[in-house]
Amino acid sequence: MTEALFRIENLRVAYPSHRSGNGAAATDQDSASERTPDYFSTLWAVDDVSLTIQPGERLGLVGESGCGKSTLGRAAMRLLSASTRIEGKVTFEGRSLFNFSPEELRRFRGEAVALIFQDPMTRLDPLMTIGDHCVETLRAHRPQLSQQAAKTEAIATLEAVKIPASRWNQYPHEFSGGMRQRVAIALALLLNPKLIVADEPTTSLDVTVSAQILRELTRLCQERQMGLLLISHDLAMIGEYCDRIAVMYRGKVVETGAARAVLQNPQHEYTQMLLKAALHVQAVPTEGSGGIAELGSEKERSNATKSGEPLLRLQDLKQYYTLEQNFVAKLFFPAEDRTIKAVDGVNLELYPSEILGLVGESGCGKSTLSRTILQLIRPTGGRVEFLGKDLTAFSGASMRHQRRQIQMIFQDPHACLNPSMTVGQSIADPLLIHRLADATAAREKVLQMLERVGLTPATEFYNRYPGDLSGGQQQRVAIARALITQPKLLICDEPVSMLDASVQAQVLELMLELKREFDLTYLFITHDLWVARFLCDRIAVMNAGQIVELGATAKIFSNPQHPYTKTLLAAAPLLSR
Closest by CA to 511, choosing from 476, 542, 540, is 476
Model confidence at 494, in pLDDT bands (50, 70, 90)?
confident
Write down the pLDDT at residue 31: 35
Closest by CA to 190, choosing from 144, 126, 136, 117, is 136
CB 404 within 8 A of CB 433: no
Closest by CA to 245, choosing from 226, 232, 258, is 258
Quick: pLDDT tens for 265-293.
999 999 998 888 888 777 765 544 444 44
Among the ranges given (163-167, 174-178, 427-431, 520-524), the one the predictor scored with the smallest mean pLDDT? 174-178
Query: What whole-number percentage of the chain has pLDDT above 70?
Result: 88
Helices of type H across 418-470: 423-433, 439-452, 458-462
Write down the pLDDT at residue 336: 52
Helix (H) or strand (E) holding 506: helix 501-518
Segment of 224-228, 465-469, 538-542 carrying the highest mean pLDDT: 538-542
Closest by CA to 195, choosing from 90, 114, 95, 117, is 114
**Angle between helices 147-160 and 177-189 in degrees, nearest 10:** 120
Closest by CA to 61, choosing from 69, 51, 53, is 69
CB 210 within 8 A of CB 572: no
Residue 556: φ, ψ to 5°: -60, -40
Average pLDDT, rounded, for the chain = 84
User: In this model, does residue 332 exceed pLDDT 60?
Assistant: no
Between 25 and 393, residue with greater pLDDT: 393
At position 561, the amino acid (one-letter code) is Q
Write down the pLDDT at residue 300: 40
Cα gap 453→513, rounded to integer Å: 10
Cα gap 212→47, rounded to integer Å: 35
CB 345 within 8 A of CB 526: no
Quick: pLDDT tens for 452-476.
998 989 999 999 998 888 777 888 9
Between 7 and 43, residue with greater pLDDT: 7
Write down the pLDDT at residue 24: 39
Closest by CA to 61, choosing from 259, 212, 193, is 259
Cα gap 345→365, rounded to integer Å: 12
Closest by CA to 567, choosing from 411, 365, 360, is 360
Write down the pLDDT at residue 548: 95
Cα gap 73→232, rounded to integer Å: 11
CB 319 within 8 A of CB 369: yes
Write down the pLDDT at residue 217: 81
Buried b (16+ CB within 10 A) or exposed e, 181-204: bbbbbbbbbbbebbbbbbbbbbbb
At position 277, the amino acid (one-letter code) is A
Mean pLDDT of 396-410: 86
Quick: pLDDT tens for 335-366.
555 688 889 999 999 999 999 999 988 778 88
DSSP one-letter code for 527: S
Predicted TM-score (pTM) of this structure = 0.72
CB 411 within 8 A of CB 417: no
Q: What angle do CA 164, 169, 175 make, to 5 degrees?
A: 65
Phi-psi region of 315 (alpha: psi -120 to 50; beta: other; left: phi over 0): beta
Could you give the 3-state DSSP secondary structure of residue 144?
A: coil
Cα gap 573→577, rounded to integer Å: 13
DSSP one-letter code for 40: B
Mean pLDDT of 292-299: 41
Residue 278 CA, distance from chain mean position: 16
Cβ neighbors of 311 (< 8 A, separation 6 or more) are: 350, 351, 352, 354, 386, 387, 488, 489, 521
Model confidence at 25, in pLDDT bands (50, 70, 90)?
very low
| Distance in angstroms between the alpha carbons of the first and the last residue of the chain | 35
Quick: pLDDT tens for 445-455.
999 999 999 89
User: In this model, does residue 18 exceed pLDDT 50?
Assistant: no
CB 469 within 8 A of CB 426: no
Between 432 and 217, residue with greater pLDDT: 432
Taking only Cα atoms into account, the Rg of the chain, rounded to an integer number of angstroms, comes to: 25
Cα gap 22→19, rounded to integer Å: 8
Which residues partner with 27 through β-bridges? none
Between 390 and 403, residue with greater pLDDT: 390
Closest by CA to 199, choosing from 219, 215, 181, is 181
User: In this model, does residue 214 exceed pLDDT 90?
Assistant: no
Write down the pLDDT at residue 576: 58
Cα gap 41→102, rounded to integer Å: 28
Cβ neighbors of 305 (< 8 A, separation 6 or more) are: 351, 354, 537, 538
Q: DSSP states of 324-349 as a string?
A: ---HHHHHH-TT---EEEEEEEEEEE
Query: What whole-number percentage of the chain has pLDDT above 90?
Result: 45
Cβ neighbors of 244 (< 8 A, separation 6 or more) are: 57, 58, 59, 60, 256, 257, 258, 259
User: In this model, does residue 2 exceed pLDDT 70?
Assistant: no
What is the rounded (10 degree) CA torsion for 61, 67, 70, 75?
-90
Could you give the 3-state DSSP secondary structure of residue 301?
A: helix
Cα gap 175→133, rounded to integer Å: 14
How deeply is 421 buried, as exposed, middle or buried, from its count of CB atoms within 10 A (0-12, 13-18, 19+)? middle
